[in-house]
A = this chain, B = another copy of it.
Amino acid sequence: MSGKRAMTNVVFSNDFDKAMAAFIIANGAASAGYDVTLFFTFWGINILRKSDPVTAKKNLIEKMFGIMMPKGPDRLTLSKMNMGGMGLAMIKGIMKHKNVMPLPALIAQAKQSGVRLIVCTMSMDLMGIKKEELIDGVEEGGVAMYVDRMSRSSANLFI
């Protein structure tokens, strides 16, 4: 049955601005009583990587991908006007000035609010990202788990 008060959003992108939007919407929906699931797939899984080095057994290709992709919320870049980091630094400066919660705090708040963070197993496999490289509290799941959460949700976004 289609649920009344659940929201399931696919987080495909690892752009800083889209990650902000994903967590602001998730936290807003959670605080309004929604049962929220974020399903991280493709580039989106990088948002949940730990920023400190993790030793995981990897082959060469996996190591290369691991190096080229951003490690966690503080390494993401803007989808537009990043300008080698200058646009991003400006945005982060304004966020601090205006007391907008930074991305790591939004993620922590989501976890505290019970937002489920599911990471796509196929994407982890493709990009060689191991469970121990991800922050605590995330679950692994495939497309069947996504469809199950989606089928119980009245709102579904692809971010």
Contacts and interface: CB of A to CB of B under 8 A. Distances in A.
A41 B12 contact: no
Nearest to A17: B42
A85 interface: no
A143 B4 contact: no
B144 A28 contact: yes
Q: How large is the interface on A (under 10, 10 to 19, 20 to 34, 35 or more residues)?
A: 35 or more
Nearest to A28: B143
Given A21-B41, A68-B81, A147-B29, A126 B157 contact: no
A61 B90 CA distance: 8
A98 B125 contact: yes
Interface stretch (A50-58, A110-118, A132-140, A148-156): A148-156
A10 interface: yes
A6 to B, nearest CB: 10
Interface of A: 1-2, 4-5, 7, 9-10, 12, 14, 17-18, 20-21, 24-25, 27-29, 32, 34, 41-43, 61, 64-65, 68-69, 79-81, 87, 90-91, 93-95, 98, 100, 122, 125-128, 143-144, 146-148, 150-151, 153-159
Given A10-B21, A32-B147, 8 more contacts: A2-B4, A2-B154, A10-B25, A10-B157, A12-B18, A25-B146, A91-B126, A98-B126
